[in-house]
Amino acid sequence: MSDSNIFVTLVNAHLTIGGQAITWREIVGNAFGLASAIGGMRRKVWAWPVGIIGNALLFTVFFAVGFTGHGQEKLYGQAGRQVFFILTSIYGWWLWQRTKNRSTDPDAPAVQPRWATARERLGYVLVWAAGVLVCQWIFRTIGVDYWHPPEFYWWADAWIFVGSMLATYAMARGWTDFWLMWLAVDIVGVPELIYFKFYPSAVLYLVYAGFVVWGFFVWWRASREEQPVLQPAGQV
């Protein structure tokens, strides 16, 4: 078997559940995503590179680059955010590793949780609102000639795209707010994924929702109980 045939076989490997083909890329990519979320809750630096692997796999799923089991559907917001996840994760990886390197305690977490300031919170709310307006227009402009999604798709995908970017950035900065931002993304993301039959991702989002609530209380407790011995992420 040629190398190209091996590649195609690996890419097209899937399970069929209820008559629906589900690629292993989607399953494995989401598994890496969940592992990254666990690492993030524990404030471990390894959460970032693990998440990058999952993002790369999920990009190939949502963009439907010629070998997806989902035919013509291209979820631009879901696919595009994987690219920005990777870029933001590189930033978060560097930021957490820098803070970790500055700590004299090898067992210390890589970030000190804190709430965003009023100014920071106003900033990300305005960016989210403006980003949704701009991104839904961009997604409509790009469009797909042979696929005509329902109206809600453009707004939902823009909400997910912008919210995911902001949540990842907030995590890198150590803002406890990022857990609540993820809940806002999940509320829209789960129905969209179910509608377009991306069932493994929809199930994982539901798992995330419960996990996010747990993670929020873990970080909230840490922000109240831990002494600020670590330099806040992103500050010199």
Q: Where are the domains of the chain?
A: 3-225
Q: Which of the pair, 138 or 24, is modelled with greater confidence? A: 138
- 170 and 178 Cβ atoms separated by less than 8 Å: yes
Asked whether residue 127 carries a pLDDT value surpassing 50, the answer given is yes
Name the nearest CA neighbour of 187 among 212, 169, 150: 212
**Who's near 190: CB < 8 A, 6+ residues apart?**
202, 205, 206, 209
Instruction: Write the single-letter amino acid at 89.
Output: S
pLDDT of residue 202: 82
pLDDT band per the 50, 70, 90 thresholds, residue 99: confident
Q: What is the pTM of this model?
A: 0.76
**114 Cα distance to chain centroid:** 21
Report the C-alpha gap between 89 and 83 in whole angstroms.
Answer: 10
Instruction: Write the single-letter amino acid at 34.
Output: L
pLDDT of residue 105: 75
pLDDT tens string 193-217: 888 877 777 887 888 888 889 999 9
SS3 content of the chain, % helix, strand, coil (to 5): 70, 5, 25
